[in-house]
Amino acid sequence: MALNKQTIGALLVGLALLLVALEKLFFHSDSAEQNLSLAFASPDWTEPLGRDHFGRSNIARLSDAIVTSLVLAWVSVVTSASLGVAAGVLAGWKRGWWDRMCSFLMNIILAMPGLILVLLFAALVPGSFLILYVAIALILWVEFFRVVRNRTLSLIQSPEVEASILYGFGDWYVFKRHIWPHCRQDVFTLCCFGAGNTILALASLGFLHVGLKPPEAELGLMMVELFRYYQMAPWVLAQPLVTLFILVLGFHLLASGEKS
């Protein structure tokens, strides 16, 4: 039986989570503990991914980096989806000043490239997880708002919605029965793309030295730290690169899967 895109994406994300689970269950290494005498030590049974240039456990650092990326992706997507869906439904349904205000804010955010805006936020408080979360959630919010607003504008004029309103059903019933079922797939797709893009943005900021700071384990930071040693130990540099590729590809495949 052939695997569809969503199944492959779920397997890739599950593979990253499996690495985290194995490290937490069986290895319990400290990702910040240094031992220079073991710099670039080869993989063995106690350290299956070897050690980096400071003699730190690669599997512990990858595990922590995956957790950091997924936590940021989760909180950013949940926040932006909640705000975007609520604002989009209200703007498309009630219109008026709320629609004008949200649309104006959306145009301001869209006027500047997303990564540049995140860089500006990150420059204000370097190394702050909270600031990165706020900046990324602010960027992601726009896509949810725009899609849900346009969906609501077309749905609110449909005969089914007009009939429910005439029969006296409340706003929550109309949303749950008529609006949300038509927006659900779009919101899920945006959540998956948003998670992948959040992970990629965090790694990009780390690579530019404006994201999280050492000794925090983060994929982009790991790459920039190890890049100068790629000739000495290319297998160590490959680990965060492959992990980032798996996570981003996994979420994008989840987003591009066929509708059920």
- Residue among 180, 237, 191, 213 at smallest CA distance from 62: 237
What's the pLDDT score for residue 35?
A: 87
Residues of the chain with pLDDT under 70: 1-2, 257-260
What's the pLDDT score for residue 260?
A: 42
What's the pLDDT score for residue 190?
A: 94
Q: Which residues contact 60 (CB under 8 A, 6 or more apart)?
A: 23, 27, 29, 30, 31, 217
What's the pLDDT score for residue 149?
A: 92
What's the pLDDT score for residue 4?
A: 85
What's the pLDDT score for residue 69?
A: 95
Angle subtended by helix axes 234-256 and 219-226, to nearest 10: 150
Prediction pTM value: 0.89
What's the pLDDT score for residue 148?
A: 93
- Looking at domain 5-21+57-256, its CATH superfamily turns out to be MetI-like (1.10.3720.10)
Q: What is the DSSP string of 33-102?
A: ---GGGTTPPP-SS-TT-B-TTS-BHHHHHHHHHHHHHHHHHHHHHHHHHHHHHHHHHHHHH-HHHHHHH
What's the pLDDT score for residue 257?
A: 62
User: Which tens digits make up the pLDDT trace of 224-253?
Assistant: 888 888 888 888 989 999 999 999 999 999
